Structure 1
Amino acid sequence: MFAKLTNFFVRYIQRYMPDPYLFAILLTLLVVALDFWLVPQTTLSGVINAWYQGVWGSQNIFTFALQMTLILVCGTTLAQAPLIQKGLERLAAIPQNQVQAAVMCFLAGAIGSLLNWGLGLVIGTILAKEIAKRLEQMDFGYVVAAAYMGFITWTSGFSSSIVLANADPTSSLNIIYKLTKQTVGIENDILTAYNIVPVVVTLVLFPFMLKWIAPRDIKPINRSALFNAETAVTAEPVAQPAQPKTFASVLENAWILNLILVVAGFYEFFGPLHGAVTINTMILLFTLLGLLLHWTPIRYVRAFCESAKASGSLLLQYPLYGGIMALMAYQPAKGIDPLQTVLASELVKAATVHTLPFLNYIGSCIITMFVPSGGGHWAVQGPVSIQAALALGQTSPAYLGKISMSVAFGEGVFNMIQPFWALPILALAGLTIRDIMGYCVMALLFGFTIFGAALLIF
């Protein structure tokens, strides 16, 4: 069964999976078609104007797009800090076989993802490369797949785009606030039993799964390709002959400048901001940690610029999701329900208060294959989900928080077979999607069961 599932998903990706940017375009056209079909009095000029307002006009999500890009870049920059690199080197000396290596890389990725999804995305793979330098008998694709499996927890953590949007009334993606004038804090989404329990179960159960699916025929590691390729992520500059000190070089290595920024930033975070969890405070926190651990300005600059290379796809796609969001809310005339309300009404017909979160979860799993970004995903599905909850008379922050987390769970689980976020770690590891996909299918099956059951039980 495992071999058949592996082959099926490999064939699907190789034949039918275009770049996610093209998915965003296709989804835009689909929403336009649904507007003409389900929303009376829809006009071509009205649709085009609504789309323009969402992409470049008054309803754009440019601020949110930059915020999510900074979350990724700051997290990846932090993973390159010398202190973290040294810690990973010490951890890499512990595993004695490939199962231990896989479990360690999974836990590193999972815990890192709970703190910052950019950090969690790469730290497990960096650890896998360090282990590969020391451990001869291991299937590198299997261990890197385990590291990527840790990413399944990111939507349950402190940098989840949906969670951060819910807590910020000024966010363009705080759909709950737009519809109800309420904010949903972390006590109503990530600090709940239906979120904490499946995360703990995942951390406990996945190591057993990794032992079960460990390959018996170990493929040799191509060390020359792995450690000499230009795909390695490093903050260390190439060694250069000693140069005389200049005013510029002194400033570039003036650690006191980093320290001044760090002290001022932490004063603000723990003082006036009271440690509040919002998108901006998370960016602030991980920027400060990066400045502190890289120590000198030039080291941080180099690491940040290297990390920013992975953000191009986000900057390209997010504006299109803003357009989709505007098309979902398009009203040709007063008194006519927009598409998001029409779809929500249909969803409510098949749902109860108890089953609505699970039905949203199923829908989220499907949408993730087309919209592999948590923020963009929420822009598409969020309005329908919240409208459906309101139609059932549910307006409490606790219930709306659960609805939003049901969407987040689907995003995290189906990222296991959506290659969009796997591409950066594959480039870092020098692998292809074929090398990890079969293992990730098993992570999908286990994760789907764990998180779906939590929505129904709690």
Structure 2
Amino acid sequence: MRPADSAAPAEGLLARVALRFTALAERWFPDAFIFAAVAVVAVAAAALANGTPVADVARSFGDGFWSLIPFTMQMAFVAIGGYVVATSPPAARLIRALARLPRNGSGAVGLVAAVSMGAALLNWGLSLILGGLLVRALAGRDDLRMDYRAAGAAAYLGLGAVWALGLSSSAAQLQANAASLPKSLLPITGVIPFSQTIFLWQSLLIAAILIAVSITLCIWSAPTGANAVTAADLGIAPARQAPPPSDVPRHPGEWLEHSPLITLALVALGLGWFVLELSSKDPVSALSNLNTYNLFFLMLGLLLHWRPRSFLDAVGRAVPATTGVLIQFPLYGAIAALMTVKGAADLAIADRIAHLFVGLTTEHSFPLFMGIYSAVLGFFVPSGGGKWLLEAPYVMEAANQLKVHLGWAVQIYNACEALPNLINPFWMLPLLGVLGLKARDIVGFTFLQFVVHMPLVLFLLWALAGTLDYVPPILP
């Protein structure tokens, strides 16, 4: 049971405000699907008001609805691949080894933050599950008094701080692959390789600063001693029960499911393909292909699970986490099409908003204006790839007109897109399921991170923008 109110540690001002905010959000905010559906209706109405014929609006909705099927499946596999790798037996051994390292509770919270953010640079799905399982392992140590809530918040920092600056960034992956971009968006942005987005030294510097600041905040803000609320205090079992092992094969048809021979054959084929891919392209180009990225994580997960049956069981447990992606991304594709369909004066909604951006900003103020706008919109549309398709048509057109480096515009979006995750419960759900917590338990700590991150990120985006020159869209 949770400690009685009279015995509970007093929360600081920021934590109290955040807890009240999250309680209101949980009570009044509908599912993210409702936000996406309302956005479709609103954009369709705006297109009609813009003078677009009804038939063109309906046609754009239907054409756009299925325009992102390849990208939708790719992002679903990002989540599946990360989950499969994080729940493999070797990952479990790594987690147990890491859990033995900290000497005190605050150090344990700092370790969780470092692991979560490091993993998020590779795969956001891996970050959530790996961070959550590490917290459970640390909570099982009898010699360590760790605030379970603070550790849970630290495990979420991968999604709240740096995931969009890493390899699984939806916007960067989308922009690097011409086949994944909607046809209406490609002429505006062109193809932007990773070398001009997440691998810019300016972007790497922001990621390094955010990691250092976040870990420091975790350590300093974690309650210690009698003030720490442990998993036991919350009535949560300290060790998460592992999934039951697969049955021993009883019939000839099940033998191959439990044999590593199939695993080795498939991994060998995948390895051969990787060698050919890397020999024909530079590593940055290879990594920026979502199909290559996802195949790597799936083959790695298959190898780490060793037996196909174990791998398939892990995939089955991962699929529910992709529900939001599968059902919402078609709506975002429809929004992108509706934003770019022409209306009166041969102008689309995206054109009119782009003109507004240009009128309100300059080359120097664009990073601040776009960053704040993306962060606010991200609270209502908590999907990195989907929201980028909503924003990109007009913010990238504005970037072209203001002569802002297009890759940096993507990184402005990426750095600020993660900020609302710190106070929006949507992406917390997979982690909270692992930890057995509610959003209100951790958001007091993530809100503190948000208060520090927001001005820091905006300052860095503004200060570093001047080090980059504009390059026109590069069409394939």
Per the TM superposition, whether the score is higher than 0.5 is yes
The question of 1:343 aligning with 2:353 is answered: yes
Distance between the aligned counterparts of 1:189 and 1:175, measured in 2? Answer: 21
**1:357-383 Cα deviation digits (max 9, x unpaired):** 332111110111111111101110111
What does residue 363 of structure 2 align with?
A: 353
Distance between the aligned counterparts of 1:87 and 1:435, measured in 2? Answer: 27
Deviation at 1:451, TM superposition (A): 2.1
The question of 1:165 aligning with 2:174 is answered: yes
Q: Percent identity?
A: 29
Residue of 117, 125, 133 corresponding to 1:118: 125
Residue of 95, 99, 107 corresponding to 2:106: 99
What does residue 76 of structure 2 align with?
A: 69
What does residue 414 of structure 1 align with?
A: 420
What does residue 219 of structure 2 align with?
A: 211
Distance between the aligned counterparts of 2:175 and 2:296, measured in 1? Answer: 19
Distance between the aligned counterparts of 2:107 and 2:331, measured in 1? Answer: 42
In structure 2, relative to structure 1, the CA distance for the partners of 1:310 and 1:350 (3 Å cut) is same
Name structure 1 gaps, 5 residues minimum. Answer: none
User: Does the aligned pair in 1 maintain the 2:270–2:299 contact within 8 Å?
Assistant: yes
The question of 1:258 aligning with 2:263 is answered: yes
What does residue 391 of structure 1 align with?
A: 401
Distance between the aligned counterparts of 2:26 and 2:127, measured in 1? Answer: 26
Distance between the aligned counterparts of 1:145 and 1:127, measured in 2? Answer: 12
User: Does the aligned pair in 2 maintain the 1:291–1:297 contact within 8 Å?
Assistant: yes
Distance between the aligned counterparts of 1:408 and 1:100, measured in 2? Answer: 29
What does residue 196 of structure 2 align with?
A: 188
The question of 1:283 aligning with 2:294 is answered: yes
Distance between the aligned counterparts of 1:239 and 1:257, measured in 2? Answer: 17
User: Does the aligned pair in 2 maintain the 1:253–1:296 contact within 8 Å?
Assistant: yes
**SS at 1:415 equivalent:** helix
1:293-442 correspondence runs (5 A): 293-332=304-343, 336-393=346-403, 399-442=405-448
Deviation at 1:439, TM superposition (A): 0.6
Deviation at 1:322, TM superposition (A): 1.0
Deviation at 1:265, TM superposition (A): 1.2
In structure 2, relative to structure 1, the CA distance for the partners of 1:243 and 1:115 (3 Å cut) is closer
In structure 2, relative to structure 1, the CA distance for the partners of 1:225 and 1:61 (3 Å cut) is farther
* Equivalent position amino acid for 2:357 in 1: L
Higher mean displacement: 320-329 or 212-221: 212-221
Distance between the aligned counterparts of 1:175 and 1:132, measured in 2? Answer: 50
Higher mean displacement: 271-280 or 190-199: 271-280
Distance between the aligned counterparts of 1:314 and 1:374, measured in 2? Answer: 10
**SS at 2:180 equivalent:** coil
In structure 2, relative to structure 1, the CA distance for the partners of 1:168 and 1:403 (3 Å cut) is same
**1:172-221 Cα deviation digits (max 9, x unpaired):** 358763325x3211111111132111211122122221122223522242
Deviation at 1:330, TM superposition (A): 1.7
TM normalised by structure 1 equals 0.91
Deviation at 1:225, TM superposition (A): 5.8
In structure 2, relative to structure 1, the CA distance for the partners of 1:173 and 1:428 (3 Å cut) is farther
Distance between the aligned counterparts of 2:368 and 2:223, measured in 1? Answer: 34
Distance between the aligned counterparts of 1:228 and 1:45, measured in 2? Answer: 59
Name structure 2 gaps, 5 residues minimum. Answer: 1-12, 465-476
Higher mean displacement: 354-363 or 121-130: 354-363
The question of 1:221 aligning with 2:226 is answered: no
Residue of 198, 203, 210 corresponding to 2:206: 198
In structure 2, relative to structure 1, the CA distance for the partners of 1:20 and 1:301 (3 Å cut) is same
Distance between the aligned counterparts of 1:314 and 1:228, measured in 2? Answer: 31
In structure 2, relative to structure 1, the CA distance for the partners of 1:45 and 1:452 (3 Å cut) is same
Distance between the aligned counterparts of 1:256 and 1:419, measured in 2? Answer: 42
The question of 1:129 aligning with 2:158 is answered: no
What does residue 188 of structure 2 align with?
A: 179
Distance between the aligned counterparts of 2:174 and 2:258, measured in 1? Answer: 36
Distance between the aligned counterparts of 1:331 and 1:203, measured in 2? Answer: 43
Residue of 51, 55, 62 corresponding to 2:61: 51
User: Does the aligned pair in 2 maintain the 1:173–1:375 contact within 8 Å?
Assistant: no
* Equivalent position amino acid for 1:179 in 2: I
User: Does the aligned pair in 2 maintain the 1:201–1:450 contact within 8 Å?
Assistant: no
Deviation at 1:243, TM superposition (A): 6.0
Distance between the aligned counterparts of 1:448 and 1:344, measured in 2? Answer: 24
User: Does the aligned pair in 1 maintain the 2:132–2:431 contact within 8 Å?
Assistant: yes
The question of 1:6 aligning with 2:42 is answered: no
Deviation at 1:4, TM superposition (A): 4.3
Distance between the aligned counterparts of 2:191 and 2:403, measured in 1? Answer: 17
- What's the RMSD between the two structures over aligned residues? 2.2
* Equivalent position amino acid for 2:415 in 1: F
Higher mean displacement: 218-227 or 324-333: 218-227
Distance between the aligned counterparts of 1:225 and 1:284, measured in 2? Answer: 40
Deviation at 1:309, TM superposition (A): 1.7
User: Does the aligned pair in 1 maintain the 2:146–2:228 contact within 8 Å?
Assistant: yes
Deviation at 1:436, TM superposition (A): 0.5
